Structure 1
């Protein structure tokens, strides 16, 4: 057995980057002498996040197609040719044993070129509605690791393996007690705690809702841990009080989840997978501004199993207070949602994905 070489690509958003890093970490644990190379899109966040995780990364000049005619779209064929050429060079120089793609623009050219050099490829699709890059690559892949049922509408059935999505290791096993967690945020242990998460950058519409409903939350005698995102912190920090903790970013997600009685969240794939492990009642408010509206589809997949509730952004003004009150007042609804969402948890996803990758090592 020589030293294995793994090439990984995924990016554009945290939802594609973190799974790639989690897979690399698990591979490194099993093969300490292996070599790793990430390939990303030049101006995207992976160029910063991957080196922070301790891995080398090379950038391709690539971006997605905009939905309207723009200069960027006119540049797209040029960028694509340039990226394919660069991806081929990188593949030839690095000579990977396996290529792993977790979605996002850069993984397209890289996996296409890896496959044409006969490098076995593994795709990991986080969402319930497959992304365009992964759909285009499906015919080239040996294995496609998914997190939802029914993915054979996008991919060849014989290649699909349901593994779940990689999640942060500190969440697989919540070791923090509720009391300790509530103290950590300087809150009252006798009150119900609502955790509001809008993703790392924040969610404008969720923030507007919370601000509008602050008096309503007071009347309900609940306290809030409100992660408003770093883009919005200056605007909302004035609402910080004994009962409302306004935070730009949650460094200790494990404490936040442990403190929460009810969670209000976006429905990105990573968040959904984490929330299944946490097993608390969740109200999803999906972002409508993402590719193929996949957050709504992710949320609906859980709603159909009585594992979560969902409100669209367009329904918030009319329906939020009623939906929140009926959830808050019904312990049996809370228990049903908790039990059902927990059943969907797949805590060993990263290990299962790496098991599949190892089967392809010559």
Structure 2
């Protein structure tokens, strides 16, 4: 079989696409995969490194206001649809899947016009503008949150499926003991994992200074803080200038980036995270309770909606970015770790919210679309 998959702009669109593609390949046994993106998006770097064939189209996202640039973008979109048609005719896919980002628009629209089976995967509670438009044309809509269904009410019931968000298989296969050994963590201490994303989150990193002071040397809690590459040097420098000696405490580890994040998740007892869909999918798949600080400038404020959905399920507690201080973060951490019953209940609710088999469910939907198309042609 042949699969075209498209998603770009951010890792939140690209990594789910990679995970879905690998799962389709595993289930089908013999699959040729083509990833379609742009030359300028992160996908142009990530996808070839993941070993997939990569084709590009020229397309830009719409601004969220009326502008002449939007008019030019819409005119250029016609050309990108035509280029997508040419790619699809040349590759002859059996199914086309989009995971979000403006690059998906022309690709999925072209596939729909050519009567190729299509599916979009929406990771967030609040759907992106591209997926809202594409939902009118595609055969299946796979949503990562049950709450997202309310934004697709105009579509057929059998078109919309709650699948959860796909995660890397390593997230589930990593072992707790293995993670503790690899990261130098004490198995007798509660592990607090702090991650603001690959680029870091300055508000979280700044709040962590007081957290370092408060918990340094604690016999019960250890902290693994991933600052992000861009923030690491300034964080380490500021720690020294502030006279905070974390090395003597022996319970605080600060890293710019972790290539073995699945091992860190396996070892974690409590997470402090932003509220991107991929990170939350991994937290809940592992059943990790969390303190979430949504990124306030995310499109449509979707991180806030993602975080509140988990909070309503009892899996997380949310601190608004504008309300985040070191003292508030310390108080929230202590309110959880000093009440093991609450933390245990949150972990259970987190696990209930997780969908570790989401990638397989989405891949099987894709294979069913191919089978249905084949049967209709007979």
* TM class by smaller structure: over 0.9
2:343 alignment counterpart: 334
Give a deviation string over 1:231-251, Cα, whole Å, max 9, x none: 112212344633221111111
With normalisation by structure 1, the TM-score equals 0.92
Mapped contact 1:237–1:247 kept (Cα < 8 A): no
Please say which of residues 275-284 and 66-75 is displaced more in the overlay: 66-75
Aligned match for 1:182, one of 180, 183, 192: 180
* Corresponding residue for residue 173 of structure 2: 173
Alignment equivalent of 1:321, drawn from 319, 330, 341: 330
Residues 195 and 260 in structure 1, CA contact (< 8 A), matched pair in contact too = yes
1:251-278: per-residue Cα shift (whole Å, max 9, x none)? 1123212322211011111111111111
Q: Which moved more, 1:151-160 or 1:126-135?
A: 151-160
CA distance in 1, matches of 2:213, 2:69: 45
What whole-Å deviation, never above 9, does each CA across 1:9-38 have from its counterpart, x for those lacking one?
A: 011111111111111111212334322111
Matches within 5 A, 1:88-237: 88-155=85-152, 156=155, 157-177=157-177, 180-218=178-216, 222-237=221-236
Deviation at 1:187, TM superposition (A): 3.6
- Secondary structure of 1:231's counterpart equals helix
Task: Give the Cα separation in 2 of the matches to 1:75 and 1:185.
Answer: 50
Would the alpha carbon gap of residues 183 and 173 (structure 1) be closer, same or farther in structure 2, given more than 3 Å must change? closer
For this pair of structures, how many residues does the alignment match? 357
Residue 19 of structure 1 corresponds to which residue in structure 2? 16
- SS of aligned partner of 1:320: helix
Alignment of 1:294 onto 2:302: yes
C-alpha distance in 2 between matches for 1:91 and 1:197? 39
Q: CA deviation at 1:191?
A: 3.1
TM superposition score normalised by structure 2: 0.89
Which whole-Å CA distance do the structure 1 matches of 2:298 and 2:116 have between them? 31
- Match of residue 353 from structure 2: 344
**1:265 is aligned to 2:273:** yes
CA shift in 2, pair 1:188/1:356, >3 Å: closer
SS of residue in 2 equivalent to 1:154: helix
C-alpha distance after superposition, 1:322-354 (max 9, x if no partner): 222211211111011001111112111111111
SS state at 2:119 partner: strand
Relative distance call for 1:216 and 1:61 in structure 2 (3 A) is: same
8 Å CA contact 1:84–1:113 kept in 2: the answer is yes
Whether 2:290 is the aligned partner of 1:282: answer yes
Computed over aligned residues only, the root mean square deviation of the Cα atoms, in angstroms, reads: 2.0
Unaligned runs of 5+ in 1: none
The secondary structure found in structure 2 opposite 1:165 is: coil
